[in-house]
Amino acid sequence: MQSDYATLLGLVSQYSPSGAERPAVEWLVARMQSLGFDRAFIDDAGNAVGMLGDGPRQVILLGHIDTVPGEIAVRVEDGQLYGRGSVDAKAPLACFTDAVAHTGALPGWQFVVIGAVEEERDSQGARFVAPRYQPDFAIIGEPNRWDRVSLGYKGSAWADLTVREDQFH
């Protein structure tokens, strides 16, 4: 199992809570380089970015590399992987990485795989890349059940709320 899932196992093995993603980002960049991406680097927001192909049409495949805090021992039991981020969202990110490497360069296309930082907090990585790319297609690797594809994402809204009331019994 390990050779077919080396990217997934390696990525899940990197503990990467929001704000401390750098080792996982460095690991993913090195993995992209080893898989033959034309360019793999860490951008100014701290995202892992891998590019393959140089065509004028672009496909962005973005997943987040951070997780919520808390370590879960990485293990495979009865064919199932356990470990922080194995579902949200290191699995889609590993899939994107391996799929692009397996597909290789296609005439007229550029594939960009992004492991975005800070999604579990303020989406700093995605906010950084949004104005920098104009893709023909973008796929976000955010899981939403196993049996469907989401065509939209609600996101989150943050607010500070203060309630003032007179005291009474």
**Catalytic (active-site) positions:** 66, 119
Handedness of CA 12, 17, 18, 23 (dihedral sign): negative
The DSSP code sequence of 49-111 is EEEE---SEEEEEEEE--B-S-----EEETTEEESTTTTTTHHHHHHHHHHHHHH---TTEEE
